[in-house]
Amino acid sequence: MLAVEKNRILTQVSPGTPMGEYLRRYWHPIAGASEFDDKTIKAVRLLGEDLVLYKDLNGTYGLVDRQCAHRRADLSYGFVEQTGIRCNYHGWRYDEKGACVEQPYEDTVRPDLREKRRCSIKAYSVKECAGLLFAYLGPQPAPELPVWEPFTWQNGFREIVVSEVPCNWFQCQENSCDPVHFEWMHDNWSLRLKGTNGPYAAKHLALKFEEFDHGFVYKRIREGGSEKDPYWTTGRVCLWPNAFYLGGHFEWRVPIDDENTLSIAWFFMRVPQGREPFVQPSVPTWFSPIRDQNGRWISTHVMNQDFVAWVGQGRIADRSKETLASSDGGIVMVRKRFFDDIDSMHQGNDVKGTIRSADAARCVELPYFQKLLMRDGLRLEDYSKYPLLEQRLSGFVHLAGQPSAIRAAFVEAFGLRGTHYEPG
């Protein structure tokens, strides 16, 4: 059970709140770069702030305040120029640093006062990496953007999937250090959703949680397993501060505000041996629905099942009413680390996982027990030996609504036409 005030610290993300200031010290994915293949401006809300993400005609990304400094018009209805974004109301133009570099009427009638009229709007840094756009909303100097090792893997089919989840980010992230939910939410519930009553999945027999530089690792043994299994020797990663890493994909839970979360997932699937070289011209981004046509939460896909659990706790989970058990050791460790790290931040220290060296950030390794398979690939006929990898050949199991064009591109990349995998 967590006291109301401590729960408030974990869940409030606006400027000036402890967690809001803490999370602003990290880079967060906020969009796919391919979203700007057919548009130049996108209204976004991040950490309780209303902003505009844009790509100007020079290809430079900017993330600035939603309102113009002049008469507070909405810049998401503005238009981009060779450099910067221009307000559609009176034409004031801002660069990616938020500086107002042009005020057309004023510059015409009183050019001598141009320097005195200089103003600005808030602006944040944006970087592109692996097809994702990352933003940093915190104090300077900004830390290095970590290039996670999977971002460097070659010959892979990549895609980015975005959903908006109507609940607080922290109940989403706690799921990343909760291994037992796999047994019930994904294995057993999926069984029941198919109309089958059993047999149920193998039970968890042992759990272990360990902290490392970039988060926590949870390890588990299930019935029929042993301490030699990679799920125990290597485990899976609760990536700090708001992500989950499973080897073939990342899941980020980016706070929109206190009651809504942007789920951004990045997927990598290595093409079979013999189909190299494979290069995507861009990483496709698509948006996954979370409700069906009847307004019910979609529960047919893995991450959609997670969404059901998260939103079922309410917009902001009331942790003063929960009953933790021995399976929640990872939950307790994660919460304690956040409280300790927030205190350390207030003493002027860097937050957990901060990278200040460009060399160290260039390729950051994370634990993953099938790393060689993802990096080097395997023959198409050998996928049947690896059930989790083979699932991807038959269809996209993680999130609902994969566009048919992206599925078709996947089939083509993997050489699945004419095989039993093609219908998908």
Tell me if 272 is assigned to some domain.
yes
For the chain, what percent of residues have pLDDT higher than 70? Answer: 100
Residues 80 and 194 placed together within one structural domain of the fold: no
Average pLDDT of span 308-316: 97
Tell me if 9 is assigned to some domain.
no
**Strand stretches in 19-111, DSSP E:** 27-32, 41-46, 49-55, 61-65, 79-80, 85-86, 93-94, 100-102
Domain end marker among 82, 107, 136: 136
Distance separating alpha carbons of residues 222 and 160, to the nearest angstrom: 31
Chain segment 393-402, per-residue pLDDT in tens: 999 999 999 9
Per the structure, the count of domains in the chain is: 2
pLDDT of residue 117: 76
Distance separating alpha carbons of residues 159 and 410, to the nearest angstrom: 10
Residues 125 and 161 placed together within one structural domain of the fold: no
Residues 103 and 156 placed together within one structural domain of the fold: no
R_g (Cα) of the chain, nearest Å: 23
Distance separating alpha carbons of residues 208 and 330, to the nearest angstrom: 8
Tell me if 21 is assigned to some domain.
no
Tell me if 7 is assigned to some domain.
no
Residues 192 and 336 placed together within one structural domain of the fold: yes
Q: Assign 141 a pLDDT band (cuts: 50, 70, 90).
A: very high
Residue 424 has pLDDT above 70, yes or no: no
Burial code (b: 16+ CB inside 10 Å, e: under 16) for 248-262 equals bbbbbbbbbbbebbb
pLDDT of residue 152: 97
pLDDT of residue 114: 80
Residue 423 has pLDDT above 70, yes or no: no
Distance separating alpha carbons of residues 164 and 410, to the nearest angstrom: 25
Number of H helices, E strands in the chain: 13, 18
The CATH number that applies at residue 131 is: 2.102.10.10
Chain segment 372-405, per-residue pLDDT in tens: 999 999 999 999 999 989 999 999 999 999 999 9
Query: What is the model's pTM?
Result: 0.96
Distance separating alpha carbons of residues 340 and 291, to the nearest angstrom: 37
Q: Assign 163 a pLDDT band (cuts: 50, 70, 90).
A: very high
Tell me if 168 is assigned to some domain.
yes
Residues 193 and 284 placed together within one structural domain of the fold: yes
The CATH number that applies at residue 323 is: 3.90.380
Look up residue 143 and give its DSSP letter.
P
Tell me if 288 is assigned to some domain.
yes
Residues 287 and 213 placed together within one structural domain of the fold: yes
Residue 16 region by backbone torsions, left for phi larger than 0, else alpha for psi between -120 and 50, else beta? left
Domain end marker among 112, 136, 160: 136
Tell me if 374 is assigned to some domain.
yes
Residue 97 has pLDDT above 90, yes or no: yes
Average pLDDT of span 212-220: 97
Residues 74 and 175 placed together within one structural domain of the fold: no
pLDDT of residue 112: 86
Residues 70 and 162 placed together within one structural domain of the fold: no
Chain segment 99-129, per-residue pLDDT in tens: 999 999 999 999 888 877 789 999 999 999 9
Q: How many CB atoms sit inside 10 A of residue 50's CB?
A: 15
Average pLDDT of span 124-140: 98
Q: Assign 238 a pLDDT band (cuts: 50, 70, 90).
A: very high
For the chain, what percent of residues have pLDDT higher than 90? Answer: 95
Tokens (6 digits) for 79: 């238009």
In 3-state terms, the chain is what percent helix, strand and coil (to 5)? 30, 25, 45
Residues 59 and 121 placed together within one structural domain of the fold: yes
Domain end marker among 136, 171, 198: 136
Residues 197 and 98 placed together within one structural domain of the fold: no
Distance separating alpha carbons of residues 101 and 114, to the nearest angstrom: 9
Residues 73 and 95 placed together within one structural domain of the fold: yes
Tell me if 304 is assigned to some domain.
yes
Q: Assign 358 a pLDDT band (cuts: 50, 70, 90).
A: very high
Average pLDDT of span 315-330: 96
Chain segment 256-285, per-residue pLDDT in tens: 999 999 999 999 999 999 999 999 999 999
pLDDT of residue 115: 79
Domain of residue 101, residue span: 31-136
Packed helices 329-346 and 4-11: angle between N→C axes, nearest 10 degrees: 70
Residues 83 and 107 placed together within one structural domain of the fold: yes
pLDDT of residue 308: 97
Mean pLDDT of all residues in the chain?
96
Residue 339 has pLDDT above 70, yes or no: yes
